[in-house]
Structure 1
Amino acid sequence: MAEQIPGIDPAVAPSGPGCLECEAAQGWWVHLRRCAECGHVGCCDTSPSQHATHHAKDTGHPFIQSYEPGESWFFNFETGEMYGDGPELAAPHHHPLDQSVPGPRDRVPADWQQHIH
């Protein structure tokens, strides 16, 4: 049996295909990050609203994983360390392949680059 890492629950599925808060507010994101403890999908720090970081600060959940196709890295908010890999989390491992980046396509403003961090 694999060693359990505090702050990572490999059995928890992601909360959905996009940032929960941006979806609720009809917003948009650049890239997506997944909480490795509860599955919350939030937008990255380049995105206007930075919901993944806000989630980590509000909940104390220390690890996120990229939710982008072809990326499997983790980041630890407590230590500031990035890890090239870690335990395999429950599927799906990334947003839908046909989802635009930034996305969702129909909500990204034409001048989106002026709104990123």
Structure 2
Amino acid sequence: MSECPHLAELPRPEPEPLTESCPECLAVGSHPVQLRLCLTCGHVGCCDSSPHRHATRHFTETGHPVMRSFEPGESWRWCYSDQRLI
């Protein structure tokens, strides 16, 4: 995994999660699959395997480029802007 220019723009330390699950899924009665944490603001959203793809929707609406897995034991990060693991 290579460095991404968006990493330097992220807050340090990383933001605290705003919720423990995807609030958009909970609001519509859907079950989130594989949670993702926005490393700009702490939004927690469901992955693209979920019916509503709230993590990607968050990126589309906010432009926040980098997220990481919010699943136990996982620490990989994804840059939506560069479309790559970082």
Which category of TM-score, normalised to the shorter sequence, fits these structures?
0.7 to 0.9
Picking from 39, 42, 45, the partner of 2:42 is 39
Structure 1 residue aligned with 2:55: 52
CA distance 1:48–1:57, shift in 2 (3 Å)? same
Query: How far did residue 11 of structure 1 move?
Result: 4.2
Distance 1:11 1:71 in 2: 15
For these two proteins, the number of residue pairs brought into alignment is 79
Query: Structure 1 residue 67 and structure 2 residue 70: aligned?
Result: yes
Q: Which residue of 2 aligns with 1:27?
A: 30
Note the alpha carbon deviations across 1:29-51, whole angstroms, 9 max, x for none: 11100000000000000011100
5+ residue gaps, structure 1: 84-117
- The RMSD of aligned alpha carbons is 1.2
Identity rate of aligned residues, in percent?
A: 44
Which amino acid letter does the alignment assign opposite residue 72 of structure 1? S
Give the TM-score normalised by structure 1.
Answer: 0.64
> Where does residue 82 of structure 2 map in the other structure?
79
The structure with more strand, counted as a fraction of residues: 2
2:20 equivalent in structure 1: 17
| 8 Å CA contact retained: 2:36, 2:44 | yes
55-64 vs 17-26, greater mean Cα deviation: 17-26
Residue 22 of structure 2 aligns to which amino acid in structure 1?
C
Listed one character per residue, the Cα deviations across residues 54-92 of structure 1 (whole Å, up to 9, x for unaligned) are 000100000000000010011001101102xxxxxxxxx
